[in-house]
Amino acid sequence: MVYYDRQDRAAGEGKLSFMSRIKYAMDAITSFSYKPLRLSFALFCFSTCVAGLMAFFMLLSKSSVDTAGFAVAASVFFVGGLLLLCLGVLGEYLGRVYDEVRSRPLSIISTVHRSPAMNVPQLGIVAGQADNDRIQDAIDAA
């Protein structure tokens, strides 16, 4: 993370509406990570637990009206949880495809170590060819 001091706006007020700012905030949250898609797995677990509690209360209920209400609520939460599970699986898949498409390296290289024979100065085509021949001779000798 890079910290910096932001200067005040030079002239006037910003022209963005509240909804435009909300749109930019959502873009900032979702464009750098696919973790919001993984949130659907957590919501699936929550919805399934609520459905289980509703089913448990349905079994304990004495009134037939309460039993019917708990049954409908439990089925709605369970089906909603299944939809969230499908969304989570699809989101995980799309997130992994997105990582592959970006073609970013798996690690960041902080230092590159080369032998002196491998340093080729970029002075032009002729010098580059002469250096390439010298490098090839050094490789063949090794």
As averages over each run of 10 residues, the pLDDT of the chain (142 residues) reads 78 84 84 78 93 92 88 94 92 83 74 68 50 64 62
- Say what the pLDDT of residue 142 is: 59
pLDDT, tens only, 31-62: 777 777 788 888 999 999 999 999 998 888 88
Distance CA 70, CA 85 (A): 22
- Say what the pLDDT of residue 52 is: 94
Q: What is the DSSP string of 14-58?
A: ----HHHHHHHHHHHHHHS-SHHHHHHHHHHHHHHHHHHHHHHHH
- Say what the pLDDT of residue 130 is: 52
